[in-house]
Amino acid sequence: MKTALLMITLLTLSVGAASAHELTAPATVAADGAGHFSFTVMLHVTVTAANGSIYINGLDNTDVGESIADGFCISDLAPGFYPWTISGNLTDLSLGGSVSYEHSLCDGWIDTVTVNIIPPAVGLELTSWSTIKARYR
């Protein structure tokens, strides 16, 4: 009975520790006039955990594409903050887009953040001599 109680207590402690990590990113980011955007995803590791995997999905109107990085639970991440910068461009400047970032650690913790990319305003579009000529013909 003591062994079962000890196992339940250890399981409860490990699940509590797994949920203590935090993944944050801005909810929205505005693209500049050329459609370029950049933002930072911040992983806050609160207790030492082996690195699991990272999945990035930028297929929604961005050129970020899709990436998977597997840590194979080999290297440990010490408690601290780990930034990951994601940069890209909108493929269609008239539409918004989104990028999702998912990170998992080998203690059972996993989280996903999605950043919505706001398209540039019409007034912020890059102006060239040919667009000016076309407007005033």
Q: Is residue 15 a part of any domain in this protein?
A: no
Give the type of residue at 51. N
Q: Is residue 77 a part of any domain in this protein?
A: yes
How many domains is the chain partitioned into structurally?
1
Q: What is the CATH number of the domain that holds 108?
A: 2.60.40.10
Q: Is residue 75 a part of any domain in this protein?
A: yes
Q: Is residue 46 a part of any domain in this protein?
A: yes
> Who wins on pLDDT, 65 or 7?
65
Residue 56 has pLDDT above 90, yes or no: yes
35 Rama sector, left if φ>0, alpha if ψ -120 to 50, beta otherwise: left
Two tokens, residue 113 = 């953040």
| SS3 (DSSP) at 10 | helix
Give the model confidence (pLDDT) of 73-98 as tens digits. Answer: 999 999 999 999 999 999 999 999 99
* Domain span at 74: 21-135
Label residue 9 by pLDDT band (50, 70, 90).
very low
| SS3 (DSSP) at 133 | helix
Label residue 40 by pLDDT band (50, 70, 90).
very high
Q: How far apart are CA 18 and CA 65, in angstroms?
A: 29
pTM check: above 0.85: no
How many other CB atoms are found less than 10 A from the CB of residue 77?
18
Q: Is residue 131 a part of any domain in this protein?
A: yes
Q: Is residue 3 a part of any domain in this protein?
A: no
Q: Is residue 6 a part of any domain in this protein?
A: no
Q: Is residue 91 a part of any domain in this protein?
A: yes
